[in-house]
A = this chain, B = another copy of it.
Amino acid sequence: MGIYVHGYSETEACRLADQADTLAELLHASVRFPKGSRVLEAGCGVGAQTIHLARNNPDSLFTCFDASGESIMKARERLDQAGLSNSRFEIADVYNLPYEAGSYDYVFVCFLLEHLREPETALSVLRRVLADGGSITVIEGDHGSYYCHPRSPAADQAVQCLIELQARKHGNSLIGRQLYPLLAGSGFREAHVTPRMVYVDASRPDLVEGFTRRTFIAMVEGVKEEALSAGLIDEASWNKGIADLNRSTHEDGTFCYTFFQATAMK
């Protein structure tokens, strides 16, 4: 089981909700399931993605699992508050699922594989619970896809701290670019990967605020103490890195990040 690099704080729960709201249209707009579909969401966390999936697909039934009981409670509460009743939440281990082989039509995975020590094994297990002819959708980021203008070695170093800390927890924040070989290697067929690049400049103030500041920079800032404790960076360099990331949100700055969305068939 992976260790979640971003932690489980209230701030983090808010960051995830902000992130999901801003990204929902970009990442989920094309995710529609036929009426009556049985969908398994792996690693649903606090339900940040689930709420959009359940709302956009009212005639599908979602089974959502996560390793964290606390996250599951929050997810259930969130969906209840939204008045959505087409999802159930369970604690489960992605490497040892309590579901029968072939019992789901679709599997949805978002921001999970990056935190796992053995993503290919997890995909093999998820493939097993998928019905023949069923399909999987996987959405992951890739922190190595980030770049901005003006360029800043200090900003790169701060982002590298996040990449390194996630790697030390046996995660892989560069996994987006690897979805194709991972899906092919775990037995799926017809893997198709679509990059979902987020490009931000001053003409897109919603993305400047919702993505660059409140999603990406907030995520990097979240590992400050850990990065300093681990001796990966000194505080002055860290502060310069964060300041330079914020610099890219100015009138003449730009920011780029790419998510990868993959689909594949059993």
Contact = CB atoms under 8 A, between A and B. Distances in A.
A156 to B, nearest CB: 10
B177 A147 contact: yes
Interface in A170-188: 174, 177-178, 180-181, 184-185
B254 A178 contact: yes
B197 A258 contact: yes
Interface in A47-81: none
Residue among A144, A149, A184 with most chain B CB within 10 A: A149
Interface residues of A, number: 31
Interface stretch (A102-110, A199-207, A217-225, A237-245): A199-207
Given A185-B252, A258-B256, A178 B197 contact: no
A195 interface: yes
A169 interface: no
A154 interface: no
Contacts of A181: 149, 201, 251-254
24 contacts: A144-B151, A145-B147, A147-B177, A149-B177, A177-B254, A177-B256, A178-B254, A180-B201, A180-B254, A181-B251, A184-B202, A184-B251, A184-B252, A185-B252, A191-B203, A192-B203, A193-B199, A193-B201, A193-B203, A194-B199, A195-B197, A197-B197, A199-B260, A256-B258
